[in-house]
Amino acid sequence: GAVVSQHPSWVICKSGTSVKIECRSLDFQATTMFWYRQFPKQSLMLMATSNEGSKATYEQGVEKDKFLINHASLTLSTLTVTSAHPEDSSFYICSAQGEVSPLHFGNGTRLTVT
């Protein structure tokens, strides 16, 4: 079964609102979680890396104030898209890594901003 659960799987929101996406490791402690973004017909681009209990490391060009990442526990990381705009519409995928477990991907969240 799935070892990384991502929720919601899809969300539609109005421009200007904020959306929170959760990524949970179900049966292992995720010391590191990665957040990716996938544009239509393109590959996944790493947005940020988060380690439990510390601030996320953002890739160049990713606005940290717009994409808030919290990794408060060993089983949960959240990505909050603040003041979303239509250009933020995309497919967001998380992955999680434990100290002794392999990397697993969530099923992704499709965000549509109207």
Partner 1 sequence: GNSVTQMEGPVTLSEEAFLTINCTYTATGYPSLFWYVQYPGEGLQLLLKATKADDKGSNKGFEATYRKETTSFHLEKGSVQVSDSAVYFCALGGANTGNQFYFGTGTSLTVIP
Q: Name which of 84 and 106 has its Cβ closer to partner 1.
A: 106
Q: How far is the CB of 92 from partner 1 (least distance, A)?
A: 10
The residues, any chain, with a CB within 8 Å of residue 104's CB and separated by 6 or more, are 3, 4, 25, 95, 96, 97
Q: Name which of 51 and 82 has its Cβ closer to partner 1.
A: 51
Q: How far is the CB of 93 from partner 1 (least distance, A)?
A: 6
Q: CA-CA distance, 9 to 32, in Å (whole number)? A: 21
Q: CA-CA distance, 1 to 14, in Å (whole number)? A: 33
Of the candidates 91, 69, 71, 72, the residue with the CA atom closest to the CA atom of residue 81: 69
Q: Name which of 34 and 88 has its Cβ closer to partner 1.
A: 34
Q: How far is the CB of 102 from partner 1 (least distance, A)?
A: 8
For residue 80 the two structure tokens come to 């909050």
In the complex, which residues of this chain contact partner 1 (CB under 8 A)?
6, 32, 34, 41-44, 46, 49, 93, 95, 97, 103, 105-108, 110
